[in-house]
């Protein structure tokens, strides 16, 4: 059994990094970070669903005006990123009104094990509280075990009523390789 606060039995050591809003000129580096962070999943998913998933990591320009992108920077290099959506109900994935959301959490493999993903999520939680959201939601695939574990450790609860199929997210027709993408949510406590 792996002890709490560890990754594969190693104690998590926070990395000295700064979480900050991304700048538009950083889009290519952020997209590269997202692709690098997700390539490992190619062996777990059929190409007809995985290829659009990876292509979706390379379209940040499309979402730039609808989301706020946060990055984790260390030594002048982007090692992680996340997209925050103020009104998740506009994403077309069934989230209720008054919920914020985040997506495309990515941490470069070389920077994992330093709580960077957690820091990026905490940045989104702070934005959601500032925006007055009642809750925040995220979807995670079966193969994203580390992300799902992090969400659960941070108090996110499964929300099966907001699960979606991979084919819906990718805009593809359902086939035998289709699968459910799990929804998680967390209530936001208003800042006083």
Domain assignment present for residue 7? The answer is no
- Structural domain count, the chain: 1
Q: CA-to-CA distance for 189 and 111, rounded, in angstroms?
A: 30
Q: Which residue has the higher pLDDT, 189 or 190?
A: 189
Q: Is 52 exposed, middle or buried (0-12, 13-18, 19+ CB in 10 A)?
A: middle
Of 117, 110, 144, 125, nearest to 191 by C-alpha is 125
Judged against a pLDDT cut of 50, whether residue 188 lies above it is answered with: yes
Domain assignment present for residue 5? The answer is no
Of 118, 131, 130, 108, nearest to 39 by C-alpha is 108
Judged against a pLDDT cut of 60, whether residue 7 lies above it is answered with: no
Q: What CATH number is given to the structural domain containing 182? A: 3.40.630.30
Domain assignment present for residue 128? The answer is yes
Please give the model's pTM, rounded to 2 decimal places.
Answer: 0.85
Q: Which residue has the higher pLDDT, 65 or 48?
A: 65
Domain assignment present for residue 74? The answer is yes
Domain assignment present for residue 1? The answer is no
Domain assignment present for residue 138? The answer is yes
Domain assignment present for residue 66? The answer is yes
Q: Which residue has the higher pLDDT, 31 or 178?
A: 31
Domain assignment present for residue 11? The answer is no
Domain range for residue 137?
17-187
């Amino acid at each position: 059994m792996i002890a709490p606060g560890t990754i594969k039995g190693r104690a998590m050591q926070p990395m000295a990094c700064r979480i900050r809003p991304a700048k538009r000129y950083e889009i290519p580096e952020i997209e590269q970070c997202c692709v690098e962070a997700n390539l490992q999943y190619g062996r777990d998913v059929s190409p007809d669903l995985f290829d659009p998933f990876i292509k979706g990591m390379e379209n940040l320009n499309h979402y730039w005006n609808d989301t706020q992108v946060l990055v984790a920077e260390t030594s002048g290099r982007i090692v992680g990123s996340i997209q925050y959506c103020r009104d998740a109900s506009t994403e077309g994935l069934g989230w209720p009104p008054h919920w914020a959301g985040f997506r495309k959490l990515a941490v470069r493999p070389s920077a994992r094990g330093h709580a960077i993903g957690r820091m990026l999520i905490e940045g989104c939680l702070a934005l959601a509280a500032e925006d007055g959201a009642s809750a925040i939601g995220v979807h995670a695939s079966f193969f994203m075990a580390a992300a799902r574990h992090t969400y659960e450790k941070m108090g996110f609860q499964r929300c099966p009523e907001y699960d979606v199929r991979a084919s819906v997210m990718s805009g593809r027709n359902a086939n035998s390789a289709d699968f459910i993408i799990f929804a998680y949510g967390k209530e936001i406590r208003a800042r006083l």
